[in-house]
Amino acid sequence: MLKSKTFVKKTRSGGVMKIVREHYLRDDIWCGSEVCSECKQESTVLQRDACIESNLCPFPHYLVPDTNVVLHQIDVLEDPVIRNVIILQTVMQEVRHRSAPVYKRLKDLIHDKEKHFYTFTNEHHRETFIEREPGESANDRNDRAIRVAAKWYSQHLKTPEAEAEGLRVVLITNDQGNKAKAEESGLLVYRCEEYIKSLIANPELVDRLALSNNEQNEISSSKVLFPEHLPLSRIQAGIKSGTFLQGTFRASRDNYLEATVFVQGEGEDSTEIILQGLQNLNRAVHQDVVAVQLLPRDQWVAPSSVVLQDDVFNVQKGERGKVVGIIKRNWRPFCGMLNVSQIKESTRHLFTPADRRIPRIRIETRQASTLAGQRIMVAIDGWPKHSRYPNGHFVRSLGSAGDKETETEVLLLEHDVPHQAFSQAVLSFLPKMPWTITPEDMVKREDLRQLTVCSVDPPGCTDIDDALHCRELDNGNFEVGVHIADVSHFIRPGNALDKEAANRGTTVYLCGRRIDMVPELLSSNLCSLRSNVERMAFSCIWEMNHNAEILKTRFTKSVINSKASLTYAEAQMRIDDTSMNDDITKSLRGLNKLAKILKRRRIENGALTLSSLEVRFHIDSETHDPIDLQTKELMETNSMVEEFMLLANISVAQKIYDEFSECALLRKHPAPPPSNYDILIKAAKSKGLEIHTDSAKALADSLDVAKVDGFSYFNTLLRILATRCMMQAVYFCSGMDSDFHHYGLASSIYTHFTSPIRRYSDIIVHRLLAVAIGADSTYPDLMDKHKQSALCNNLNYRHKMAQYAQRASVAFHTQLFFKNRGILNEEGFILFVRKNAIIVLIPKFGLEGTVFFDGKGKTGVNLRFDEEVPSLTVEQHTFHMFDKVNVTISLDDSNIQHQKIRMALLEPVIPGVSVPAPEVEPQPKKPKLDR
Amino acid sequence: MAGLELLSDQGYRLDGRKATELRKVQARMGVFSQADGSAYIEQGNTKALAVVYGPHEVRGSRSRTLHDRAVINCQYSMATFSTAERKRRPHGDRKSAEMSLHLKQTFEAAVMTQLYPRSQIDIYVKILQSDGGNYSVCVNAATLAVIDAGIPMRDYVCACTVGFVDETPLADLCYAEEGGGGSSLALALLPRGGQIALLQMDAMTACKGVSKVLDEVVRQHLQDVSVLTRE
């Protein structure tokens, strides 16, 4: 029998469309019951002996729940006791529209053979299909459909056979009206509570009943979740009058319900306002510029002080407020992964960004099944006030998650590192190949080709930007030259190449990949001071006596011809090998000798020697997977090169500042506030040592003497800790600041001059110096301190991001490394003690990890934290900083998006906290290749 | 909000059909007396009218004349009232032009054109109401009209669309199923010889199971269609 369904629907563009669909009614939909002999069904689901022992229904019966019962009491329905249930198609469809998770659970129930749940397609059954009557609401029609179907079942099962069994159909509903109408039509109806309470054998089921205040549980989709944003005019008026404050919204990494707004006040002072709760966050996304209103004190809530994640969320004191409007959205495309909806036909899915501070985004896509397991990019389109999540759209796929290329792409994008290939406009400013030095180039250059210049760099370095020479003069003094690649000769101010380099700011070094600041032709060829080719350089030449005192300083543009490109190890070998006496070696020895004197003098002046562990991966040449990991070693030659670079930087800084006191680009390292050292002083005190932090000199001296017998690594640990106390060094323009001091190097002035291939700051310094010595002409932007200052801000930002990206890359490769190694057992030291965790450093891998003492499956552990020492007592054992512990290291990949290294305590053994030692698996000698 | 569930776990489609069931087919031949042949067909809510003129001598430019066989001229159009939103252009758009070409190709394969050299056969098909499977309904209508006109054919052309959802082939898609995101395959056959006159696939995502669709649905239901259209 054919029926036609007609209804109207609103289209996307807002119009109203009439939709006509066919609706076939069938005679071949069977009831699914064992007792039925009429239906020609092949297999039955509902049992003949459908007995649930109940006070109310002592006879066998089938249950017919209505939609609200399924939605709210799915926990009860899942109980093994509840069997022989008829789920009507009407109910299925309603559940599907209302709640995806419940729908999924319901489907699982139906597929479970033990449960005997039968789906009856009542909407297509000739006798149970009903049409909506005029004036009847959709809900009422569905309720009626359920009653009609239940009625049909009770009539249908009135066969002699079923009568003998006493089989009946019980409708379960919580709706009073529905119940009354059903009773009227002679059905057996119970409320859910009534029925469950009547079950004899299972009193505990009652506890699982959801409290139903039936009508209020109705999910209305048009509910407004957030307060309206104020229009811009009112925000501006509010900011002017001081009722609102403007600031940058920063979401908390650890708690999605918390955020801070950073309000830049007059001059230096700035305040942070704490926001809590979805309503107060009011749809602001990380980095948006927002207007906030302060809340009165009685509405304040204390921020959560317990660490929910690895990092500590500091308990901050500050004003509380709420977002009243968005001044500027700072949305960018976000990387992350798709949470595929539980309904497989659904086209709307939630997207979880890699950055925890970004909320989940709802997107619409039809290719969800292909996108699952891939890293994708999604852009936010808007955030309506009645939506829990912002709406967005799919931008592009980056590749499958966990893939090395994909993950590298993700971390570059997430750290805002410009890494696209250089554009044609940029490349057009490159010199034409083949390139040679022309006589015009020589006009303002000194010919230093005859000098024995050589470069010393890490192995595999192709962007060599510095080279050195040293020779003895006739008067017995030394002539020392530092030659830096003349990048500013190739990159002329203001062209596309220059703008691109200024934007990139720095070359980013990741494990196994380098993202160049300037195109490769320059970075690895024309600018790189390779051996035995003529290259243009900017030279800084000193005349020194044997005590390394500078007698004369000279800067010049030059042409050099490096005689050798050495690695640190090769240079070291030449110096140590007494049999070698060629010019290069002699030059190196002279440099080394002077460097030692310079270093000693610098340390006497109070320069800090800090420590941080850096790791190096041995990368498999074919698969590019990390196969080994070791901490970087430092050799004498490292410090030799470093010493002369520092000297050149300081000399240049002085020269450009003398020449341009308003617009010199310098680098400063502010002294940290004394409170930063608290942790260091406390830590040393616990070992009976005293650290003086009055000046850099005092700190350096006390670090030198801080040693504990039988604990050789202690000093390194202390230095690592001291490094964490430091401030970030920054670029600035001399005209905009008065404090030039470089704390770490104990120098009154400093800049970056020696790496123009990989840092844009050095290019600017080169240009300034070239103007100062009359080798090049100036241009307006170079002398504009405001533009210079803006440039410094970008450079500082890029440097910070590059550092984060590098760290993230190391972290990812560390994970790759541990992925194939199972659970490792390593020795480490406690670096910090936290309220509920200790942070452990594994010197062998330069790896830091957190051992949690609470959290999943570890409740009830007795923790006492003493902030003064600091120490953490777990049950009977007290942890202090620098304690030696044994931990197991494994990769936690339960969350593909946020894989991390998981550490667990092995020794000291604390019952209930520490884990048993992992079984030592014999390491396979050599992995066999199955081809 | 969830999309439409094209095939329920119980094996019923949106409109209550099972996977391999066709929609209700009703057809009439000879609906117009002035044309040489005509037919009206309904497949569910898709309704089409086909009219055949000819064979007659080639009209318009004589250069189109073929010496060994007849020229087949097809025109496909959709009534402006055939869809939920009124159509602006009943014919002449890209889609209609493509459809006309497909019809022409289909009937050049079926009609014994060599019997009428230097002549022309016109087939005009109009969709009166559209609810999925427009192409196949048109072919079926045109076949009936050609039969009505008494033009000899190698075999009756029967056409049907097939979709593919969850590894299950669905026969004779309605509009909602066509738009449901899966792939759809339109197929015109000469059932006696088992030859394919036209095969066209539209898919958003790559269809891996074309062979499965062809084997399971088409072969199985070929006979049904041919019997129905002959009535």
Which tops the pLDDT comparison, A340 or A597? A597
Nearest CB among A11, A22, A121 relative to B10 is that of: A121
Res. A908 pLDDT band, cuts 50 70 90: confident
Pick the range with the lowest mean pLDDT from A303-307, A710-714, A771-775. A303-307
CB contact under 8 A, A21 and B5: no
User: Which range has the top average pLDDT, A288-292, A683-687, B164-168?
Assistant: A288-292
β-strand A289-294 against A665-668: which pairing, if any?
unpaired
CB contact under 8 A, B16 and A119: no
CA distance linking residue A195 with residue A189, whole number of Å: 9
CB contact under 8 A, B84 and A4: no
pLDDT at residue number B65: 86
pLDDT at residue number A697: 79
B205 pLDDT exceeds 60? Answer: no
Q: Name the minimum distance, in Å, from the CA of B104 to any CA of chain A.
A: 31
Check if B14 contacts A (Cβ < 8 Å). yes
Please indicate, yes or no, if residue B13 is contained in any of the structural domains. Answer: no
Question: Which chain A residues are within 8 Å of B7, Cβ to Cβ?
Answer: none
- A403-to-A374, A409, A625 alpha-carbon distances in Å: 9, 10, 11
A195 pLDDT exceeds 90? Answer: no
CB contact under 8 A, B23 and A22: yes
Q: What is the DSSP code (8-state) at residue B224? A: H
Q: Read out DSSP for A590-641?
A: HHHHHHHHHHHHHHHTT--------EEEEEPTTT--EEEEEEPP--HHHHHH
Q: Residue A318 contacts by C-beta under 8 Å, 6 or more apart in sequence?
A: A260, A271, A272, A273, A274
The CATH number of the domain covering residues in A333-401: 2.40.50.700
β-strand A361-364 against A391-400: which pairing, if any?
parallel
Cα torsion A249, A252, A258, A262: sign:
negative
- A293-to-A135, A280, A911 alpha-carbon distances in Å: 48, 10, 50
CA distance linking residue A173 with residue A65, whole number of Å: 6
Q: Name the minimum distance, in Å, from the CA of A21 to any CA of chain B.
A: 7
pLDDT at residue number A8: 59
> Which sequence spans correspond to the domains of chain A?
2-208, 232-328, 333-401, 424-662+746-802, 822-907
pLDDT tens column, A227-245: 888 888 888 888 888 888 8
Q: How are strands ordered across the β-sheet holding B46-57?
A: B25-29, B37-43, B46-57, B119-129, B71-78
Nearest CB among B131, B174, B205 relative to A367 is that of: B205
A822-907 CATH choice from 1.10.238.10, 2.40.50.140, 2.30.30.100, 3.20.20.140: 2.40.50.140
pLDDT at residue number A219: 43
CATH class, range A2-208: alpha beta
Res. A211 pLDDT band, cuts 50 70 90: low
pLDDT tens column, A518-534: 888 888 888 888 888 88
Three-class secondary structure of residue A583 per DSSP:
helix
Phi, psi of B30 (to 5 degrees): 65, 45
Question: Of B4, B13, B15, which to mutate for an interface test with A (greatest number of A Cβ within 10 Å)?
Answer: B15
Question: Which chain A residues are within 8 Å of B45, Cβ to Cβ?
Answer: 4, 20-22
pLDDT at residue number A294: 84
Residues 120-159 of A with CB under 8 A from B: 121, 123-124
Question: Which chain A residues are within 8 Å of B174, Cβ to Cβ?
Answer: 21-22
Please indicate, yes or no, if residue B69 is contained in any of the structural domains. Answer: yes
Question: Which chain A residues are within 8 Å of B176, Cβ to Cβ?
Answer: 21
Q: How are strands ordered across the β-sheet holding A900-907?
A: A847-852, A837-842, A824-833, A884-892, A900-907
CB contact under 8 A, B15 and A343: no
Q: Name the minimum distance, in Å, from the CA of B181 to any CA of chain A.
A: 7
Mean per-residue pLDDT for A624-634? 63
A568 pLDDT exceeds 80? Answer: yes
B122 pLDDT exceeds 90? Answer: yes
pLDDT at residue number B137: 94
Mean per-residue pLDDT for A425-454? 84
Question: Which chain B residues are within 8 Å of A367, Cβ to Cβ?
Answer: 205
Pick the range with the lowest mean pLDDT from A703-707, B71-75, B111-115. A703-707
Question: Which chain B residues are within 8 Å of A15, Cβ to Cβ?
Answer: 85
Check if B171 contacts A (Cβ < 8 Å). no
Question: Which chain B residues are within 8 Å of A347, Cβ to Cβ?
Answer: 3, 181
Check if A23 contacts B (Cβ < 8 Å). yes
pLDDT at residue number A929: 40
Contacts 24+ apart (CB under 8 A), A853-856: A853/A913
Res. A923 pLDDT band, cuts 50 70 90: very low
Q: What is the DSSP code (8-state) at residue A524? A: I
Please indicate, yes or no, if residue B144 is contained in any of the structural domains. Answer: yes
CA distance linking residue B43 with residue B31, whole number of Å: 17
Name the one residue in this structure whose structure tokens are 């909407």: A123
Mean per-residue pLDDT for B157-179? 84
CB contact under 8 A, A345 and B6: yes
pLDDT at residue number A310: 37
Query: Are residues A292 and A321 in contact, defined by beta-carbon separation less than 8 angstroms?
Result: yes
- A823-to-A629, A915, A927, B39, B213 alpha-carbon distances in Å: 16, 12, 18, 76, 49
pLDDT at residue number B197: 85
Nearest CB among B4, B44, B84 relative to A345 is that of: B4
Q: Find the residue in B nearest to A96 (Cα).
A: B2
Please indicate, yes or no, if residue B95 is contained in any of the structural domains. Answer: yes
A306 pLDDT exceeds 50? Answer: no
My answer on whether omega of the bond before A390 falls inside 30° of 0, hence cis, is: no
Please indicate, yes or no, if residue B197 is contained in any of the structural domains. Answer: yes
Residues 291-310 of A with CB under 8 A from B: none
User: Which range has the top average pLDDT, A289-298, A617-626, B24-33, B217-226?
Assistant: B24-33
Please indicate, yes or no, if residue B15 is contained in any of the structural domains. Answer: no
User: Which range has the top average pLDDT, A84-88, A433-437, A803-807, B36-40?
Assistant: B36-40
Count the domains in chain B.
Answer: 1
Res. A200 pLDDT band, cuts 50 70 90: confident
Res. A546 pLDDT band, cuts 50 70 90: confident
Number of A/B CB contacts below 8 angstroms equals 71
pLDDT tens column, A816-860: 777 777 777 888 888 877 777 788 888 777 777 888 776 655 556
Res. A262 pLDDT band, cuts 50 70 90: confident
Q: Name the minimum distance, in Å, from the CA of A328 to any CA of chain B.
A: 30
Mean pLDDT across chain A, nearest whole number?
Answer: 80
Mean per-residue pLDDT for A477-485? 90
Helices A138-156 & A89-98, crossing angle to 10 degrees? 150
pLDDT at residue number B145: 95
Mean per-residue pLDDT for A629-648? 78
Res. A919 pLDDT band, cuts 50 70 90: low
Question: Which chain B residues are within 8 Å of A14, Cβ to Cβ?
Answer: none
Q: Name the minimum distance, in Å, from the CA of A406 to any CA of chain B.
A: 23
Check if B15 contacts A (Cβ < 8 Å). yes
CB contact under 8 A, A23 and B176: no
Check if A27 contacts B (Cβ < 8 Å). no
Pick the range with the lowest mean pLDDT from A24-28, A479-483, B35-39. A24-28
pLDDT at residue number A634: 67
Residues 543-572 of A with CB under 8 A from B: none
CB contact under 8 A, B17 and A24: yes
Element at B4 (helix H, strand E): none
Res. A147 pLDDT band, cuts 50 70 90: very high
Q: The domain containing residue B214 runs over which residues?
A: 25-230
Q: Name the minimum distance, in Å, from the CA of B203 to any CA of chain A.
A: 12
pLDDT at residue number B46: 93
Q: Find the residue in B nearest to A345 (Cα).
A: B3
CB contact under 8 A, A26 and B4: no
Check if A824 contacts B (Cβ < 8 Å). no
Please indicate, yes or no, if residue B17 is contained in any of the structural domains. Answer: no
Mean per-residue pLDDT for A740-762? 88
pLDDT tens column, A57-74: 888 888 899 998 888 888
pLDDT at residue number B213: 62
Question: Of A88, A345, A362, which to mutate for an interface test with B (greatest number of B Cβ within 10 Å)?
Answer: A345
Res. A271 pLDDT band, cuts 50 70 90: confident
Cross-strand pairs, A630: A616
CATH code, domain carrying B90: 3.30.230.70
CA distance linking residue A27 with residue A45, whole number of Å: 19
Query: Are residues A681 and A587 in contact, defined by beta-carbon separation less than 8 angstroms?
Result: no
A450 pLDDT exceeds 70? Answer: yes
Question: Which chain A residues are within 8 Å of B6, Cβ to Cβ?
Answer: 345
Nearest CB among A22, A100, A111 relative to B15 is that of: A22
Check if A391 contacts B (Cβ < 8 Å). no
Check if B84 contacts A (Cβ < 8 Å). yes
A4 pLDDT exceeds 70? Answer: no
CA distance linking residue A742 with residue A745, whole number of Å: 6
Residue A134 has a CB neighbour count (10 Å cut-off) of: 5
Question: Which chain B residues are within 8 Å of A17, Cβ to Cβ?
Answer: 84-85
CB contact under 8 A, B85 and A17: yes
CB contact under 8 A, B3 and A347: yes
CB contact under 8 A, A22 and B5: no
Check if B23 contacts A (Cβ < 8 Å). yes
Q: Find the residue in A nearest to B177 (Cα).
A: A21
CB contact under 8 A, A24 and B15: yes
End-to-end CA distance of chain A: 62
| CA B175 to chain centroid | 14
Pick the range with the lowest mean pLDDT from A13-17, A671-675, B156-160. A13-17
Residues across chain B: 231
Nearest CB among B2, B6, B45 relative to A22 is that of: B45
The CATH number of the domain covering residues in A232-328: 2.40.50.690
CB contact under 8 A, B2 and A18: no
pLDDT at residue number B74: 93
CB contact under 8 A, B84 and A22: no
pLDDT at residue number A617: 65
pLDDT at residue number A778: 83
Check if B1 contacts A (Cβ < 8 Å). yes
Please indicate, yes or no, if residue B14 is contained in any of the structural domains. Answer: no
Which tops the pLDDT comparison, A561 or A252? A561
Three-class secondary structure of residue A153 per DSSP:
helix
My answer on whether omega of the bond before A908 falls inside 30° of 0, hence cis, is: yes
Pick the range with the lowest mean pLDDT from A256-265, A273-282, A625-634. A625-634
